[in-house]
């Protein structure tokens, strides 16, 4: 049935007037009657209480940790008797001083007759003692990358080793191949023949090429000077070239020349090189005291085949 216009108008009035009345009756002045001052102290007290509980929980947890850490070793029956599932923390196998020295060491084996078993043992020792890196022949880089896959120990290998007079292009290819197989750090021998002939343009171009080949792949380059064969003037010139090329490390020696690293040479290099270029001492380092003297003089890496003996304090037998 159709409703008349008057009926529709009456219904509209019924539904709209109460809404208007209710909105008008809800005056804003009612909000002003809420007493914020009465609630403020209670709110502040609640916040302070929650903060105090938070800090007490931190202090209690720290005290509990210190108590159990400093607890003397107890027999196994003690923990069962006290119904405690906690066990004393496993302490590091080596002291902090030993660990500090280990982090400087490139654990090295570059003998021409080194076998796969020798290199694998080298890697196991590097993991155990947490050495900075292993330095191995290029032939073993791929295997070492597999053995150290889940280890923080870096992989270093040598380029143009040990005489340094290979062609620059050959050295660059050695770097590319080593990086492809997993090397992190490249220890490259400078062309000593070019140095002795004063062919500094050749030396500069070679060091630039080796540095670029390494840095383009995000790897580090260590330029080996073989300081035992150089005079001071030549060492200074090489330091200046390495500074301009922005190499990562300058390394003293291959370990195959008659003279290796000395405290005097490390001091000489540190005084000439900027702080951005680090120094690796290598060659004839078989004594812990000597290694520490080199570090005090400015060396930041120690290349040695006697890394285990240095950190464990045992005598070097060969």
Q: What are phi and psi of 91, to 5 degrees?
A: -80, 150
100 among known catalytic residues:
no
Token readout for 83 is 């119904």
Tally of CB atoms within 10 A around 172: 19
Q: What is the 3-state secondary structure (H, E, C) of 41-110?
A: HHHHHHHHHHHHHHHHHHHHHHHHHHHHHCCCCCCHHHHHHCCCCCCCCCCCCCCHHHHHHHCCEEEECC
- Whether the CB-CB separation of 181 and 188 falls below 8 Å is answered with no
DSSP state of 219: -
Active-site residue (options: 171, 219, 222, 280): 280
Asked if 280 is an active-site residue, the reply is yes
* Marked catalytic residue, from 171, 222, 251, 278: 251
Distance CA 152, CA 137 (A): 19
* From 187, 219, 248, 278, the catalytic residue: 187
108 forms beta bridges with: 135
Catalytic annotation present for 142: no
Cβ atoms within 10 Å of 166's Cβ, excluding its own: 16
List the catalytic residues. Answer: 187, 251, 280
């Amino acid at each position: 049935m159709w409703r008349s216009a008057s009926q529709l108008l009456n219904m509209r009035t019924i539904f709209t007037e109460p809404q208007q009345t209710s909105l008008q009756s809800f005056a804003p002045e009612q909000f002003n009657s809420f007493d914020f001052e009465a609630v403020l102290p209670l709110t502040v007290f609640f916040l302070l209480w929650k903060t105090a509980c938070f800090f007490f929980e931190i202090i209690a947890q720290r005290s509990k940790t210190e108590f159990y850490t400093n607890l003397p070793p107890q027999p196994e029956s003690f923990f069962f008797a006290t119904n405690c599932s906690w066990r004393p923390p496993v302490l590091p196998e080596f002291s902090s001083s030993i660990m500090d020295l280990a982090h400087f060491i490139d654990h090295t084996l570059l003998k021409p007759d080194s076998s796969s078993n020798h290199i694998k043992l080298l890697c196991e020792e590097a993991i155990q003692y947490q050495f900075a890196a292993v330095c191995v022949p290029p032939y073993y880089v791929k295997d070492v990358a597999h053995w150290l896959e889940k280890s923080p120990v870096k992989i270093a290998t040598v380029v143009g080793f040990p005489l340094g007079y290979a062609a620059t292009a050959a050295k660059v290819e050695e770097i590319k191949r080593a990086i492809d197989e997993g090397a992190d750090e490249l220890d490259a021998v400078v062309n000593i023949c070019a140095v002795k002939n004063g062919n500094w343009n050749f030396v500069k171009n070679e060091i630039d090429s080796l540095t670029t080949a390494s840095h383009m792949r995000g790897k580090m380059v260590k330029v080996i000077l073989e300081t035992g064969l150089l005079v001071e003037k030549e060492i200074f010139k090489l330091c200046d070239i390495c500074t301009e090329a922005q190499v990562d490390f300058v390394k003293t020696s291959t370990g195959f020349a008659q003279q290796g690293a000395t405290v005097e040479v490390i001091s000489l290099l540190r005084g000439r090189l900027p702080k951005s270029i680090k120094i690796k001492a290598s060659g004839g380092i078989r004594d812990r005291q000597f290694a520490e003297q080199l570090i005090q003089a400015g060396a930041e890496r120690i290349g040695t085949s006697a890394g285990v003996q240095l950190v464990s304090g045992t005598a070097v037998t060969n």
